[in-house]
A and B are shown apart, each in its own frame.
Chain A
Amino acid sequence: MRFIANITFLGLLCSSTCSFGNAARSACNSDVSSFKMSFQKQTDSTEEDSAKLKVDTTRFQPKSKRTVFSALESKGDNVDPKKLAIFPAFTLQQYLKGEAAGLYVQESSGEPGTVQNMFIRGTSQPLVSPREQFATQPLVVLDGIPLVGEHPFAYDIQQYKFDRIGPATNSLSNINMDNIESVQILRDLGSTSIYGPKGANGVIVLTSKRNSTVRKINFESYIGVATPSPVTTVNGKFENTFRRQFYDKYTANGSYSDIDTYPLYLSDSLNNDFYGPADWNDLYYKNALSYSVNAGISGGSERANFRFGVGTTTSGGVGDGTGADRYTTRFQINMRPTDWMSFTAIINANRVDRQRNRNVRDRLSQVNYIPDLSSPIAPNSAKYGNYLNQFDNGFDNNRSNIVEGLVKVGVDLGGFKFNSVFGVDNNEGYRDIFYPRTLLQTTNYASNYYGFSRRVMFDNTATYDLKLNDVHSFNFAVGSSFQYDTYKYNYAYAYKGANDFVKLNLLESDPNKGSYLEPFVFKRELVWKFLDKTRNNMISFTGKASYNYKEVYTFSAMLRADASSNQQPTNRWFYSPIFSANWDMKKDFLDKNDFISDLNLRASFGRMGRAEAFDNYAQGPQYTAFIGFTGNLIAPGYNGFGTLTRPYSAGAVPYGLEWAYQDQLNVGVDFAFLKNRIRASVDVYSKEDKNQLLGVPGAAEYGYNTIIKNGMSIANSGIDAAISADILPSTNKVSWTSSLNLNFNKNKLKALPGGLSELVIGDRLLKVGESVDSYWLLTNQGIFNTDAEVPVAANGEKMSYNAITLKAGDPRWKDLNGDNVISNKDKTLMGHALPVVSGGFNNDFGYKNWTLSVNMYFNLGRDLMNQEMANRFDFVNREGLNNINSVREVTYWEKRGDYSKYPLYNPWSSSAPYQVNQDLFLEDASFLKLRTLSLGYDLTQMMKKKMPKLERFYVYASVHNLFTLTKYTGQDPELVNYTGYDTGYGMQIPRTYMLGVKMDF
């Protein structure tokens, strides 16, 4: 199947006609130079895949390299990696942000190498925890290997789920855009279907540069400086003045009650640590260097050729000494021992080291122990520097090895072709920690983590071409795919080592001693060890038939059978059909039309299974070892024995769970006018993810928090549009191309399990007919200044919040149902955590050898909850608890937000006046960013005189993240994760100034 596709692709490339395999192949075979290409294509499965679907479903392929749709696609389906490579990105997500219609990227922190999220055409699940985040990520395919993600099962042992244990490095840090030949964002089922259930969230296909048969060298390098944005720092005086307002307003003598205490660190205005200069930012925010060097060599003959590349990239974060380093090497070899057989092997190995932030919260959630938090870190640089120095006595090493390997054998027997791919993606991470005593109230801490995510895959495809005559041609394909995923970690942590010099959790190594293999530096009883492993195997069989009529109409039908070990044995297989069609109207009846240079209509619809990510769903009613409770999830057993009980907190798993699946309809049109000067591609889609599992609150009287049920259905519908215009064509001295890509998406919950119409999960309401990314909020209408203002109902009772009578100083919340009681019934769904419209607006100018690019990125219709401000005002509750939520970072001393927006409520009131879930803290977080401004000069012509072999010599200077336009009052509105609650933990995305060079010779 793939084979045929790539051949077809070749055909497209090397001949001006577009047709199925045979003709194309013969065309190729007749031409040596094109055969090189063919060879390359043939050995590059990714490109084949994409090419095939292009041919089969959309026939979107350019008739020659320079036609309209190759250009068009770079703004739509295809993204031009050459342009992406200008951006000093560390992760794939950073490269792709705002570059393709329908792909929404969240970069919730500027800390390099951290996990980022991508959503293609909205979310198919309510995003409340890392589980849903994992289940909604698109599949990334690198050179034919579907990359494995980091499974969220490790969160199960984590009290605090801010970051996954282990290095928590973005597993898509392994992409070096300079090595990439093409990037495709596949969104509709017609194009994603060949990737199976794992591609149900969309697929991003990356294809590496092809080998060359003549010796070629490429070299790319850049160096840049990231600079922090200025911040306003404050000291204890500011905080004291802020709090005094409340004491003045609501307390008689400066203390709310006799047993109340004013925080020590604010009580003494002579305390220079807190009332002195707030110059911590000198130590926290610093310029950081980013640089990259990357080189590759390629060569060989038609029969055997290779490409080898090495590179290193360093990305510095401007906050807290963070950064990430990557070392890359890649090797690809192609061989054609006989005319009818080809062989390819690829190894892509990456090592990523990360310097993590030193947040108190992240450290404590790792340590899983909350020391006394009554005083925050002082805003004073001497004190803060002192604190930072303590880290030098310990370590926090985060390493990841991300390795992909692929072997592929292709057999071409004329009409019959066979392709076999064996691939491995192994992503392993290490984190070794030692925190000295001085960081944790005289208790030191050591931890070691090793974990891996591994995917082994084996794909086979067989295709057969049948060309009856010039009018009718057919293609048949069958395939099988086996994917074995294993996720595992070994993890241990220990408290109270003997001293700060032995930083390892050493074990007794003498087998003759009774304490063999027991720790002796750390107390045995204070060492906790964890082993966990989960596997998921998936097997698929596919069959596909395509028909082409005169290159005008193309129809294709696919039938899939997918089985996953995470589905119950009684429902293991899922069968689904996918259909697609294409109509080239230009060719059909507009051949003579000069105005319309291209017009193509395509459609696809079908169904795709969605396999579960967790293996417990396959087991039916079950038992687990969990007997933990709030604050202690890891109770190892009872009286030293392991226990088995029902999965009460995880939810009851019944027999008979079914596959969830996606139905998607996509209709797209591609058109070009005025000799391709205006190009556009518009897709309208309606996607519904049906019968999904959801933990429905219930069976509390049987001990369960939830019952897992099928039946949640979430629809995303919208438009992907990419429009591009050569306002001044490149034939002019001055050229100007402007392009816009955007996605409009509407998310709607269509059904809940058991026909429920609404469901409360934590702070969220899932309501049929509303979108799942909305917040559930009380409407704030001001403040009750006196007790007399509180409305009294007919029965003489004053308005209450749940059962608490409202008083002066309490918020005036809108009583929607008019029962004079403010409760959840008075909450409404508002706003969207994911943008309604997102996209990019790019302009490229050319003058002689100069190029100027201006890239903008925007989100519209996105809202955030300003939790950071809610926390500020809710200081009474947060400081009282001494839990992870009472942590204040050094950035506590940074003034963010608009304090004047919020009424002065009585913070001691038990009605929780500053609870975040009210529209007081809801803000419009739409924004427009100038993401890249780059100026380049092409020196090729000039240099060619001295170096005749030179193909490209391009130098550029660029500035990234120039400015953000937004109404949001908090930090940069991008710095928020999928939940939409801005905790203030996102680290600045810095402005970066860069110089770079790219050479091919």
Chain B
Amino acid sequence: MKKIVLLSLIFFTLITGGCKKALDINSTRVVNEANSWNNLEDSRAKLLGVYGLTRAALADNNGHWIYGDVRMGNFESPLRQDLKAIIKNDLKAEYEVVKDLSNWTRFYRIVNAANIFLERIHEVKEKDPRYTENNMNVDVAQIRFLRAFAYFYMVRIWGDVPFITSSRDGSFENVKRSDHNAILEFVQAEMLAAAEVLPYRFSMNDIQQPGQYYNESDSRWNGTLVRKLSAYGVLAQVAAWQGKYADVTVYTKKVLDEFPRAAMGYSTTDYLTNRRGIFFDKNNNQLFAFGFIFGHQDATFVGNIESLTLAEPIVNKNLPDIFVPKDSILSIFKEPNDGRFNIDSTGVTHSQLYFTNFLGKYPIFSKIKCMQDGSSDPTFRIFSSAILFTRLEDIALLRAEALAVLGEKQGAIEVLNVVRSFRYNVDNAGAVIGSYVPYSSERSGSLINAIFNERNKEFMGEGYRWFDLVRYNKIVQRDPKFTELINTGGIYWPVAQALIDQNPELVQNSYWK
């Protein structure tokens, strides 16, 4: 009897000893700080995390295209009331998508993740000898670029935004909105600094990134990361948005002079609209892009232009969410010999790579259609097109725009013609011919109009239109309504009420008060 009592008491003590062990469980669902900044794999996960967050921020609710193409753009929506409101610039309408797109939280994820990375990456450097100085420098440059990019994107949408460059972990104080001009100065400086450090390509023994980047070959990295010219390309956009056209010429020159080093080229119209063309997968021609790579199971049902624009007969969906009405198409694509789309006065279409079912009630905008692995199977609406933020044609046309604004007309026409040479080169049957139709003011109107019309045609469905409209109307102040929008801050989105509710330092954009 006594034995039993004794034994049970011993048993008790043994179990008690195991307590601490039983209670310390390393979660298999999250990683805590102690296990976070120790080795090369950690830095890769954190680096690509910032990319992933950027992709998520742009793809969320198809925001990149709704901001850029849907708002007061060429598109109409047959059924979606939320998109109709955005098309009308009715940005306080009571729709979930409108509210979500007014919320900048997802961009601050990029900023916060970048800030943490910049503060903590030295720990990996100290702990893991495999993590080289160069690797760290290149990583840091990318992170600084992505943080600047997030700010650039936000400033374009909301104007003044809170400016935060440290993680302030654990003490998240509310911050006022800062002047957007100051932020853009920061953006420009950061991107420039990054551009100087970044290589032309990864894992190609670039002098600024020798050896295999994270032990993967160039085919793994092609087009997926920020490269030197990506930085200069985005810098050109930043400078153009600020109206610093002299800077635009500097940055664009850098890209246009050096793009062969980055294994890039201009896209033919066919490559532009091919299911396996520039938008598909990852490739070097994507100057700055976020891929949804089919082979990596990244393909998605939403977060791409296709989910908005495609419908019967391209995919098995009854009506598209958005479409370009026939009248708009006719007024935009007026020039003959355009490989993207052209129609003559008798109503005969000679080329229609951009649109399908033009004669139907809803022409389908089918320029971008990366379905599954680039197949033509209409039965499954999963898409793998990258969010392409900028490409060579954008840089060329920005240069043309800058030169035109600065009065270097001839230079502008030259660059414009480079782009035109790839587009206005089809015959009446839509077949590519050896020659092209260069710019002339009789055919295409004034130079600045021609450049912006070209942009409208070239980048339709790529999230550019709204920002181009703003720049255009800043240059050519002919539309009093739009000028009024610019002057009153109506070009910005309202700040989501949810944000103002939780941060008393915030003030709504005056136009949306």
* Chain A residues within 8 Å of B, Cβ to Cβ: 153, 259-261, 264, 340, 369-372, 374, 411, 413, 416, 418, 420, 441-443, 458, 460, 462, 480, 482, 484, 495-496, 523, 525-528, 532-537, 539, 563-565, 569, 572, 615-616, 618-624, 627-632, 635-648, 652, 654-655, 697-705, 707, 760, 801-804, 823-824, 876-877, 879-882, 908, 910-912, 915
Q: B294 within 8 Å of A by Cβ? A: yes
Within the assembled complex, what's the spacing in Å between the Cα atoms of A526 and B295?
A: 9
Q: B298 within 8 Å of A by Cβ? A: yes
CB–CB B33/A621 < 8 A: yes
Q: B207 within 8 Å of A by Cβ? A: no
Q: Which residue of A lies closest to B214 (CB)?
A: A641
A-B contact pairs, 24 of them (CB 8 A): A261-B79, A261-B319, A374-B319, A418-B5, A442-B316, A442-B379, A525-B294, A563-B19, A615-B30, A622-B27, A622-B32, A631-B300, A635-B55, A640-B220, A640-B298, A641-B44, A644-B36, A645-B50, A646-B116, A698-B172, A700-B103, A700-B499, A704-B172, A881-B79
How far, in Å, is A464 (CB) from chain B's closest CB? Answer: 11
Within the assembled complex, what's the spacing in Å between the Cα atoms of A639 and B292?
A: 8
Interface residues of B in 27-78 (CB under 8 A from A): 27-33, 36, 42, 44-46, 48-53, 55-57, 59-61, 76-78
CB–CB A565/B24 < 8 A: yes
CB–CB B12/A632 < 8 A: no
CB–CB A801/B94 < 8 A: yes
CB–CB B111/A260 < 8 A: no
How far, in Å, is A372 (CB) from chain B's closest CB? Answer: 5
Within the assembled complex, what's the spacing in Å between the Cα atoms of A62 and B111?
A: 68
CB–CB B113/A703 < 8 A: yes
- Given contacts A703-B105, A880-B79, 13 further A-B pairs with CB under 8 A are A261-B79, A495-B382, A496-B379, A532-B29, A536-B25, A572-B23, A618-B27, A624-B29, A629-B106, A629-B303, A637-B48, A639-B293, A803-B92
How far, in Å, is B66 (CB) from chain A's closest CB? Answer: 12
Q: B339 within 8 Å of A by Cβ? A: no
Within the assembled complex, what's the spacing in Å between the Cα atoms of A612 and B222?
A: 45
CB–CB B224/A639 < 8 A: yes
How far, in Å, is B114 (CB) from chain A's closest CB? Answer: 10
CB–CB B79/A565 < 8 A: no
**Interface residue stretch chosen among B163-171, B231-239, B420-428, B448-456:** B163-171
Q: Which residue of A lies closest to B8 (CB)?
A: A418
Q: Which residue of B lies closest to A619 (CB)?
A: B32
Q: Which residue of B lies closest to A647 (CB)?
A: B30
CB–CB B94/A802 < 8 A: yes
CB–CB B5/A616 < 8 A: no
Q: Which of A628, A655, A703, A877 has the most B CB atoms < 10 Å from its CB?
A: A703
CB–CB A704/B105 < 8 A: yes
CB–CB B28/A261 < 8 A: no
How far, in Å, is B78 (CB) from chain A's closest CB? Answer: 5
Residue numbers in B under 8 Å from A824 (CB-CB): 497
Interface string of B239-255 (1 = CB under 8 A from A): 00000000000000000
What 8 pairs across the A-B complex have the smallest Cβ distances? A627-B52, A703-B109, A803-B92, A631-B302, A880-B79, A643-B49, A699-B172, A640-B296
CB–CB B319/A635 < 8 A: no
CB–CB A563/B23 < 8 A: yes
Within the assembled complex, what's the spacing in Å between the Cα atoms of A225 and B261?
A: 79
How far, in Å, is B422 (CB) from chain A's closest CB? Answer: 29
Within the assembled complex, what's the spacing in Å between the Cα atoms of A564 and B19?
A: 10
Within the assembled complex, what's the spacing in Å between the Cα atoms of A635 and B5?
A: 57
Given contacts A615-B27, A635-B298, A638-B51, contact A482 B22 (CB under 8 A): yes
Interface string of B490-506 (1 = CB under 8 A from A): 00001001110111000
CB–CB B4/A701 < 8 A: no
Q: Which residue of A lies closest to B291 (CB)?
A: A639
CB–CB A636/B298 < 8 A: yes
Q: B429 within 8 Å of A by Cβ? A: no
Residue numbers in B under 8 Å from A882 (CB-CB): 79, 317, 321
Interface string of B76-95 (1 = CB under 8 A from A): 11111110110000101111
How far, in Å, is A305 (CB) from chain B's closest CB? Answer: 24
Q: Which of A264, A644, A699, A912 has the most B CB atoms < 10 Å from its CB?
A: A644
Q: B366 within 8 Å of A by Cβ? A: no
Residue numbers in B under 8 Å from A910 (CB-CB): 81, 84-85, 90, 93-95
CB–CB A701/B175 < 8 A: yes
CB–CB B380/A495 < 8 A: yes
Within the assembled complex, what's the spacing in Å between the Cα atoms of A413 and B8?
A: 13
With beta carbons under 8 angstroms apart, the residue of A565, A635, A642, A912 that contacts B25 is A565
CB–CB A701/B30 < 8 A: no
CB–CB A639/B296 < 8 A: yes
Q: B209 within 8 Å of A by Cβ? A: no
Within the assembled complex, what's the spacing in Å between the Cα atoms of A480 and B13?
A: 11
Q: Which residue of A lies closest to B27 (CB)?
A: A615
Given contacts A639-B293, A760-B501, contact A369 B301 (CB under 8 A): yes
Within the assembled complex, what's the spacing in Å between the Cα atoms of A599 and B493?
A: 70
Q: B15 within 8 Å of A by Cβ? A: yes
How far, in Å, is A706 (CB) from chain B's closest CB? Answer: 9
With beta carbons under 8 angstroms apart, the residue of B23, B56, B172, B325 that contacts A537 is B23
Given contacts A442-B379, A569-B24, A700-B103, contact A880 B81 (CB under 8 A): yes
Q: Which residue of B lies closest to A541 (CB)?
A: B16
Within the assembled complex, what's the spacing in Å between the Cα atoms of A370 and B301?
A: 9
Within the assembled complex, what's the spacing in Å between the Cα atoms of A912 and B325?
A: 26
Residue numbers in B under 8 Å from A638 (CB-CB): 48-49, 51-52, 55, 224
Residue numbers in A under 8 Å from B94 (CB-CB): 801-802, 804, 910-912, 915
CB–CB B282/A879 < 8 A: no
Q: B104 within 8 Å of A by Cβ? A: yes
CB–CB A371/B78 < 8 A: no
How far, in Å, is B307 (CB) from chain A's closest CB? Answer: 8
Q: Which residue of A lies closest to B494 (CB)?
A: A803
